[in-house]
Amino acid sequence: MFSNKSQNSLSTQKLTFDIEINTPLSNQENNHQQSNLNFSKFFRNVFSRSRKHQVLQQGNEMRTLSKTLMKSNETTETLASVTNHASNNDICLFSDSPHYIVRIAGNGNTEEFERFIRDNPSQLKVANPAGLCAAHNAAARNRVGILALIAQYNEDLNIEDNNGWTPLHHAVRNSALDAIEFLLDNGVDDVRLTKQQEAPIHLAVIHNQLKALELLLSKRPERVNLGGERDKTPLHYAALIDNVDAAKILTNHNARLCQPCSAGSYPIHIAALNSSNRVFSHLFAIAKSLGYHTEHLLNFCDAENHRPLHSSVIGGNIEAIEICLKNGGKIDDQQEDLSTPVHLASTQGSLEILKLMFNCQSELKSRVIRMTDIQGMTPLHKAAMGDHVDVIEFLLEEGADIDVRDISKRTPLLVAALKSSVQAVCYLLSQNASLIYRDEADRNLLHFIIMQNLPIETIGNIIFTRDNYRILFDQRDQDGFYPIHYASREGQVNVLKTLIKHGAEINRKTNQRQSSLHFAAE
C-alpha cells in the first residue's frame, strides 16, 4: 500500500529545465543576456589585474569566476579554469575542456559538433560532472541534427547517465517531441528503467508532459500498461498524483483498470488512498462507459483485501467515500480480516466519516455496529483502543453494546486499559461499563491498570465511587495473582497505598502461596 503522497517526490511541473545549469530552458535567453554582461565585466577586471602582474588568488574570486563561467552560454573562447598563481598566459579555453562536446550538443551546432567527433568519436562517451553525455543534452534540447550525427557514427543512443536516464528519458522529461520521434524511429529502448525504476512513459505522466505521452503511445501503444517501480503502470502513477489529463490519455489508449501492482493495489485503490479524486471519478466514468457495473470496480481487492471503500476510509478521503457509497459500496462490506469500513473509521477516530456512512446507509447502521472482525472486536472496541472518546460517545448513542466481548473475552473497557487509553477508560466507566468482566487469563480492569502503570488517582476517582468496586480486589488471574500482587511485584508504592486504603487485603496468597510481602522483599 502506498502511503498518502508518499511517491518518490513526484512533481507535475510543466517547466522544461536546462539539464546543464538546472534553470528553466524558457528563461535561457534572459539568463544568457544577463550572464554575458556579468561575464564581460569580470573578464575585463581579470585581465586588468593580469596586466599589472597581479597574481590571482584562490577563494572568493575563484568561486565567483567559476560561477560566472558556468552561467555563461558562450560556446567558444570561454574561460574554463584558472590555476593557482595563474598569469594571463596560463588561462585556457573552455573549448579545450573534455566536456565541451556536451555543450556543443546542446547548442545544436552540427558543423562544429562533427568537426570535434570526426577524428575522435570516443568523445561521444565523455560525460560532464552531472553524468550527461552529448546524446543526453541533444535529446533534452530537441537537437535532432546532433542525434542524427551520433547515430551516423554508430554510437549508443541508449547510453545512461548517472541516474540511469537514457536520451529518451531526457527528451520526454523536456517534451522534446522531435527528439522523441527520432529516437523511437531509430529503435531506442523505450522500456529501459532508471535507477528509480521509471520508464520514459512513466516520466511523461509524473512530469505532466502530455504531448510527449501522446507521442509515445502513438508510436508504441503496447507500452500503455508498462510496469515500473513495484510494477506500477502509468495509470497507477496518474492515480498517485491525481493527473487526470494523463489518466484520460491512458484510458483512451486502453489502459487496464484491473491491473494490480506488485503490492496488490489497483489504480482505484491508489486514487482513493491519495485523495486523487479527479482520477477516482474518471475511473468510475470509464468503467461505466465500458459497460461494467460499478459494483465490479468496487469489488477490486488489493493484497490486504481492501476494497476501494476501505481504501477511501483509510485515506480519510470524504469525496471518494461519497462516490463509493453512491455507486453501490456497502458499509457492512468485510475485508479479509472481517473489518468493515466502520471498523476502520472507528480505529482512526474519524467521526465525520462515521456520520457520513451512517447517514448514507442508515438501514445498515444497527447491523454493522454489532459486527465483529477476526478478533471478535466491534467498532466500539476499535474506538476504545485508539482513545477516541468522541467516537465512543457516538457509537454508544447509536446503540453499541458497552460490555460486548471479543474472542479473548475483553470488553471495550478492558481493551482501553490494555492500550493505555486513559480517557477512554474514564469515559466508559462514567457510562457504567461493567467491572465484573475478565479476559481469558482472568485479569480484571485493576490488573490491566497496574500492568500498564495507568494513573490510579485519576481512574480511581471513578472506580471507587462504584458500590461493587471491591470485587476487583477479590479476583485473581489464572496464576492466582490478585491486583495487590501486581502492584507489589511492579514496585508501585502509590498503587499499594491506594488499594490498601480502599480495603484490599495485604495477606492474600498466589497459587504458589506467595503474599504481596514476598514480592516487596524481592
What's the pLDDT tens digit per position in 230-276?
A: 999 999 999 999 999 999 999 999 999 999 999 899 999 999 999 99
To the nearest whole percent, how much of the chain has pLDDT over 70?
A: 80
| Residue 242, helix vs strand vs coil | coil
Closest CA to 498 of 512, 515, 486, 481: 486
Which band of pLDDT confidence, cut at 50, 70 and 90, is reported for residue 297?
confident
Which band of pLDDT confidence, cut at 50, 70 and 90, is reported for residue 164?
very high
In a domain, 157, yes or no: no
Q: Residue 358 CB: number of other CB atoms within 10 A? A: 20
Output the pLDDT for position 95: 53
Which band of pLDDT confidence, cut at 50, 70 and 90, is reported for residue 18?
low
In a domain, 414, yes or no: no
Residue that the C-alpha cell 467516537 belongs to = 391
Residues 124 and 134: beta-carbon distance below 8 Å: yes
Residues 34 and 265: beta-carbon distance below 8 Å: no
pLDDT at 484 over 90: yes
Backbone angles phi, psi at 504, to 5 degrees: -70, 140
In a domain, 439, yes or no: yes
Rounded distance between C-alpha atoms, residue 455 and residue 443, angstroms: 18
Output the pLDDT for position 522: 59
Stretch among 91-95, 191-195, 291-295, 487-491 having the lowest mean pLDDT: 91-95
Stretch among 290-299, 370-379, 404-413 having the lowest mean pLDDT: 290-299
Last-in-domain residue among 44, 64, 96:
96
**Averaged pLDDT for residues 330-357:** 95
Q: Residue 310 CB: number of other CB atoms within 10 A? A: 26
In a domain, 474, yes or no: yes
How far does the chain reach from its first CA to its final CA, in angstroms?
Answer: 49
Q: Which pTM was predicted?
A: 0.71
Backbone angles phi, psi at 17, to 5 degrees: -110, 145
Rounded distance between C-alpha atoms, residue 295 and residue 26, angstroms: 47
**Averaged pLDDT for residues 8-23:** 42
Name which residue leads in pLDDT, 380 or 82. 380
Q: Which cell goes with 89?
A: 598566459
Residue 15 makes CB contacts below 8 A (sequence gap 6+) with 24, 26
In a domain, 195, yes or no: no
Q: Which cell goes with 97?
A: 575542456
pLDDT at 395 over 80: yes
Closest CA to 9 of 240, 216, 168: 240
Which band of pLDDT confidence, cut at 50, 70 and 90, is reported for residue 190?
very high
**Averaged pLDDT for residues 66-81:** 31
Domain of 52 in residue numbering reads as: 25-96
| Residue 311, helix vs strand vs coil | helix
pLDDT tens digits along 358-387: 999 999 999 999 999 999 999 999 999 999
In a domain, 345, yes or no: no
pLDDT tens digits along 345-358: 999 999 999 999 99
In a domain, 83, yes or no: yes
Last-in-domain residue among 69, 96, 123:
96
pLDDT at 74 over 90: no
Question: What CATH number is attached to the domain comprising 491?
Answer: 1.25.40.20
Residue type, 20: E
pLDDT at 475 over 60: yes
* Paired residues of 24 in beta bridges: 17
pLDDT tens digits along 423-458: 999 999 999 999 999 999 999 999 999 999 999 999
Last-in-domain residue among 74, 96, 118:
96
Q: How many domains does the chain fold into?
A: 2
In a domain, 468, yes or no: yes
